Amino acid sequence: MLENIGRHCIIGQNVEVGENVKLGHNCIVEDDVKLKDNVFIDNNVIIRRGAEIGKNSYIGSNCIIGEYQIVTCGDRKNMLPHLTIGENALIRSGSILYGGSSVGDNFQTGHQVTIRESSSIGNHVSIGTLSDIQGHCVIGNYVNMHSNVHIGQESLIDDYVWIFPYVVLTNDPTPPSDYLQGVHVYPFAIIATGSVILPGIQVAGDSLVAAGAVVTKNVQEFEVVGGNPAKKISDVRNIRNKITGEDAYPWRFHFSRRMPWEDMGYMEWVNSLGDDEKKLFSIKE
Amino acid sequence: MLENIGRHCIIGQNVEVGENVKLGHNCIVEDDVKLKDNVFIDNNVIIRRGAEIGKNSYIGSNCIIGEYQIVTCGDRKNMLPHLTIGENALIRSGSILYGGSSVGDNFQTGHQVTIRESSSIGNHVSIGTLSDIQGHCVIGNYVNMHSNVHIGQESLIDDYVWIFPYVVLTNDPTPPSDYLQGVHVYPFAIIATGSVILPGIQVAGDSLVAAGAVVTKNVQEFEVVGGNPAKKISDVRNIRNKITGEDAYPWRFHFSRRMPWEDMGYMEWVNSLGDDEKKLFSIKE
Amino acid sequence: MLENIGRHCIIGQNVEVGENVKLGHNCIVEDDVKLKDNVFIDNNVIIRRGAEIGKNSYIGSNCIIGEYQIVTCGDRKNMLPHLTIGENALIRSGSILYGGSSVGDNFQTGHQVTIRESSSIGNHVSIGTLSDIQGHCVIGNYVNMHSNVHIGQESLIDDYVWIFPYVVLTNDPTPPSDYLQGVHVYPFAIIATGSVILPGIQVAGDSLVAAGAVVTKNVQEFEVVGGNPAKKISDVRNIRNKITGEDAYPWRFHFSRRMPWEDMGYMEWVNSLGDDEKKLFSIKE
């Protein structure tokens, strides 16, 4: 079945391969891996035992997919559940995804991304170069993280959240300790570059954490907070786009790339939803 | 022509190889690549189609040179122009350079550096470990970036600029949006560790952004700015070297390593220039 | 002697191999390497000339162990002393450790860690994903660094120190210059997420640098400092654990995972020490 395969590849037992799968050179595919139709694995990729990669997905060179959690040297008996990656993934070179997580459809990563075990990642999520998802997190749908974001364990990130470079979501109020409290970021919130969010903080929907903020208190809906420690400095509804002069927020009315309303605009998309969902997404422009 | 070659290498069609080129083990060199005289490629390197590497250059293990921009799974038909790297490059292991950029002579990188497409990088540039150049940037000559610097798209970095670890140049005034405004850093400016420069900001020549600054307003010549938000805190000409007690700035009078005035000092170098250039570089000590 | 070896491995001359050593696929082991009993080398690992790996150690896929310092293209004649790694190391995939350093027993790293040359690292040290140890550092025993920590050259980190994500220890008071002054972090100090420590600063024992601090003055024992620039904001002995309501500091009374007092508690451990050592570790709860 695997006809389009590079040189020096090593393929384990019981590997399931769909139609039109392509494998680059020097790949290592361990036992029980499942590669669905049209999967394209680039060079030097390692796919660990039992990992499942959805159709039309691309795995960049030097990636490790389904990495083992190494508790003690060589102990691979008490393995995590397998990694499952949905359809249409685009995982760029050098990334490491652990076993024991599930990733939805239309997933994208930059380079050298690390995603540890026991994470649940929804559909249409993008995680930038060098980002480090520490595991034991829940990440919703249509979440966008830019480069070099650090998501501590126990973080909860809702749908339609934006997180920009060098943001850290922390989790230990009195480090070092064994008592972790994750950050919760609500739908449509935006956390700008270089902000640190303290443990257990709630960042409410449609809020904006300004660049470089150190957030020590909960952020309310529509608030703009900034500074160290962060204080309320504005309301998102007061912010204009510098170039167009128009309102910039709530951003869902002004930005649609890779969003479900990409082809029709936000309000038309909301109006196309069922009544229950419509309530969830209703908001004054 | 390629006599000094490791084991398990895969060499494409129409590869041009100069004198005394050395290739490590497990390398993949795709079609139409050009390796000039004395190029040394270490182990496990992938060189994508058409990339050109200047003479006397070293490419560290596990690098990917001329990486494809992957728009859709497996689509490599609408490829970017090739990557061109000048002479005497030293690219350390684990770095990923995209196609569609040009890099001058005497280029150095640390490890795990990412440089995206459509970047123009001058001569004598050094980019530290884990730095992430997002593409669509212009970087001049004799620019030094330390580890873990993030250069957003549309950034413009002039000659003789220094950028220290964990600095981020941002580009979106109202994230998320489609309206980007890059940062412009002028000649001889210094941006110290952990600073965030807001979109569209101009950092003037010979200024110093202090460590941890969040820069929300343009920085003037010779200013020292610091804090969150950053304010003027001094003038560089008031700063002494703690150890020698001498003036520390303008730095060009006090630091010459890897600069064109390395062997003669700054003023003698300026005096050796033609009249037009001399004007550009004249400054009171 | 090397019976458990993957495919496509390349083994140099004079390699010493202990009992029960396992090598994955595509590994490159250069001349004079020493692999002690029960060492497990995963796939695609490069082990440079003369590196020595202690027994029961695990080296993750794609690591480079004993990397060369590349001064000029292809010059490997004036090599550094070899890298020595102690027993029970767990070095996760994608990490790069230079030659010319020594690493003690029970060492752990995350992924994509870089450790440059001329570093001395004690026993029971853990260094998180993407951390960047710049070399010419001294790191004691039982030091824990989380992800994405940057340790500048000339840093001195004592035993039992905790450093959290995105912390940078800087070293150049007037950048760029040739006059470096490293940071000194004393025993039991804690530096929380995203802090920048200015050059030459002393962070005293049992102090706590709060998240996002920019530390421009020495930190005293038991002080909590925070802000930009950092000021004293509390005393660690005033901080309670949010969840248990108990004192959180000095942390050695409340946290024991992977510490020498893990099985008995701090005071019992101190009481088990000899008289001289007991003095060193005595402290009021």
Question: pLDDT tens for residues A149-188?
Answer: 999 999 999 999 999 999 999 999 999 999 999 999 999 9
Whether B164 and C181 lie within 8 Å, measured CB to CB: no
Residues 164-223 of A with CB under 8 A from C: 166, 168, 170, 173-179, 181, 194, 196, 198, 200, 214
Per-residue model confidence as pLDDT tens digits over A33-43: 999 999 999 99
> B285 pLDDT band (50/70/90 cuts)?
low
Whether C130 and A130 lie within 8 Å, measured CB to CB: yes
DSSP A26: T
Per-residue model confidence as pLDDT tens digits over B58-74: 999 999 999 998 754 45
**Residue C259 in contact with partner chain B when CB distance is under 8 A:** no
Contact C89, C107 (CB under 8 A): yes
Residues of C in contact with B112 (CB under 8 A): 94, 96, 112, 114
Nearest to C244 among A179, A214, A229 (CB): A179
**Residue B252 in contact with partner chain C when CB distance is under 8 A:** no
Contact C230, C209 (CB under 8 A): yes
Give the per-residue pLDDT at C280. Answer: 85
> A76 pLDDT band (50/70/90 cuts)?
low
Distance from CA of A78 to the nearest CA of B (A): 31
Of B191, B119, B124, residue with least CA distance to B156: B119
Type of residue found at B251 = W
Instruction: Give the three-class secondary structure for B178.
Output: coil
Whether C43 and A26 lie within 8 Å, measured CB to CB: no
The residue in chain B having the minimum alpha-carbon distance to the alpha carbon of residue A42 is B74
Nearest to C93 among A64, A173, A229 (CB): A64
Structure tokens at B283: 């400054």
φ/ψ bin of C4: left (φ > 0), alpha (ψ from -120 to 50), beta (otherwise): beta
Per-residue model confidence as pLDDT tens digits over A268-277: 999 999 998 8
The residue in chain A having the minimum alpha-carbon distance to the alpha carbon of residue C238 is A174
Q: Counting Cβ atoms within 10 Å, is residue C74 exposed (0-12), middle (13-18) or buried (19+)?
A: middle
Give the per-residue pLDDT at C73. Answer: 44
Structure tokens at C235: 């005393």
Give the per-residue pLDDT at B121. Answer: 98
Contacts of C120 (CB under 8 A, 6+ apart): C101, C102, C137, C138, C139
The residue in chain A having the minimum alpha-carbon distance to the alpha carbon of residue C230 is A228
> A13 pLDDT band (50/70/90 cuts)?
very high
Give the per-residue pLDDT at C69. Answer: 87
Distance between CA atoms of B137 and B282, rounded to whole angstroms? 27
What share of chain B has pLDDT > 90, as a percent? Answer: 89
Nearest to B166 among C64, C166, C176 (CB): C166
**Residue A109 in contact with partner chain B when CB distance is under 8 A:** no
A10-247, which class in CATH?
Answer: mainly beta
> B280 pLDDT band (50/70/90 cuts)?
confident
Q: What size, in residues, is chain B? A: 285
Distance from CA of C196 to the nearest CA of A (A): 13
Distance between CA atoms of B223 and C50, rounded to whole angstroms? 50
**Residue A228 in contact with partner chain C when CB distance is under 8 A:** yes
> A82 pLDDT band (50/70/90 cuts)?
confident
Contact C121, C102 (CB under 8 A): yes
Residue spans in chain A of domains classed CATH 2.160.10.10: 10-247
Whether B173 and A60 lie within 8 Å, measured CB to CB: no
Distance from CA of A167 to the nearest CA of C (A): 9
Task: Report CA-CA distances (Å) from B33 to B14, B15, B25, B46.
Answer: 7, 5, 17, 11
Type of residue found at B271 = N
> B243 pLDDT band (50/70/90 cuts)?
confident
Type of residue found at B182 = G
Tell me which chains share at least 3 CB pairs under 8 Å with chain B: A, C
SS3 content of chain C, % helix, strand, coil (to 5): 5, 30, 65
Tell me which chains share at least 3 CB pairs under 8 Å with chain A: B, C
Task: Report CA-CA distances (Å) from C20 to A233, B99, C35, C64.
Answer: 62, 44, 10, 22
> A224 pLDDT band (50/70/90 cuts)?
very high
Task: Report CA-CA distances (Å) from B148 to A205, A247, B85, B125, B129.
Answer: 31, 34, 22, 15, 6
Residues of B in contact with C150 (CB under 8 A): 147-148, 165-166
Nearest to B241 among C26, C114, C179 (CB): C179
Distance between CA atoms of B152 and B181, rounded to whole angstroms? 10
Distance from CA of B72 to the nearest CA of A (A): 8
**pLDDT over 80 (residue B78):** no
Type of residue found at B192 = A
Give the per-residue pLDDT at A222. Answer: 98
What is this model's ipTM? Answer: 0.96
Per-residue model confidence as pLDDT tens digits over A188-206: 999 999 999 999 999 999 9
**pLDDT over 80 (residue A284):** no
Distance from CA of A41 to the nearest CA of C (A): 17
**Residue B73 in contact with partner chain A when CB distance is under 8 A:** yes
**Residue A42 in contact with partner chain C when CB distance is under 8 A:** no
Give the per-residue pLDDT at A285. Answer: 64
Give the per-residue pLDDT at A105. Answer: 98
**Residue A49 in contact with partner chain C when CB distance is under 8 A:** no
Residues of A in contact with B196 (CB under 8 A): 166, 193-194, 211-212
Q: Which residue has the tokens 């853990």?
A: C126
Give the per-residue pLDDT at B72. Answer: 45
**Residue B26 in contact with partner chain A when CB distance is under 8 A:** yes
Instruction: Give the three-class secondary structure for A280.
Output: helix
Distance from CA of C77 to the nearest CA of B (A): 15
**pLDDT over 50 (residue B186):** yes
Distance from CA of A177 to the nearest CA of C (A): 6
Backbone phi and psi for residue A271, each to the nearest 5 degrees, phi listed first: -65, -20
Whether A175 and C190 lie within 8 Å, measured CB to CB: yes
SS3 content of chain A, % helix, strand, coil (to 5): 5, 30, 65
- The verdict on whether omega for the bond into residue C199 sits within 30 degrees of 0, i.e. cis, is no
Which of C95, C146, C206 to mutate to probe the A interface, most A CBs <10 Å?
C146
φ/ψ bin of B104: left (φ > 0), alpha (ψ from -120 to 50), beta (otherwise): beta
Per-residue pLDDT of chain C (285 residues; tens, 9 = 90+): 688 999 999 999 999 999 999 999 999 999 999 999 999 999 999 999 999 999 999 999 999 999 998 754 455 555 667 899 999 999 999 999 999 999 999 999 999 999 999 999 999 999 999 999 999 999 999 999 999 999 999 999 999 999 999 999 999 999 999 999 999 999 999 999 999 999 999 999 999 999 999 999 999 999 999 999 999 999 999 999 988 999 999 999 999 999 999 999 999 999 999 998 898 898 876
Nearest to B196 among A212, A239, A241 (CB): A212
Tell me which chains share at least 3 CB pairs under 8 Å with chain C: A, B
The residue in chain A having the minimum alpha-carbon distance to the alpha carbon of residue B216 is A211
Distance between CA atoms of B72 and C121, rounded to whole angstroms? 45
**Residue B92 in contact with partner chain C when CB distance is under 8 A:** yes
Residues of C in contact with A134 (CB under 8 A): 147
**Residue B63 in contact with partner chain A when CB distance is under 8 A:** no
Q: Which residue has the tokens 């309501």?
A: C245
Contacts of C77 (CB under 8 A, 6+ apart): none
Taken in order B226, B232, B233, B239, the sign of the CA dihedral is: positive
Structure tokens at C220: 């005293």
Give the per-residue pLDDT at A72. Answer: 46
Nearest to C64 among B58, B93, B211 (CB): B93
Nearest to A62 among C57, C62, C226 (CB): C62
Give the per-residue pLDDT at B70. Answer: 77
Whether A129 and B148 lie within 8 Å, measured CB to CB: no
> Could you tell me the end-to-end alpha-carbon distance of chain C, in angstroms, rounded to an integer?
53
Per-residue model confidence as pLDDT tens digits over B136-184: 999 999 999 999 999 999 999 999 999 999 999 999 999 999 999 999 9
Q: What mean pLDDT do residues A249-272 have?
A: 95
Whether C162 and A175 lie within 8 Å, measured CB to CB: yes
β-bridge partners, A126: A108, A144
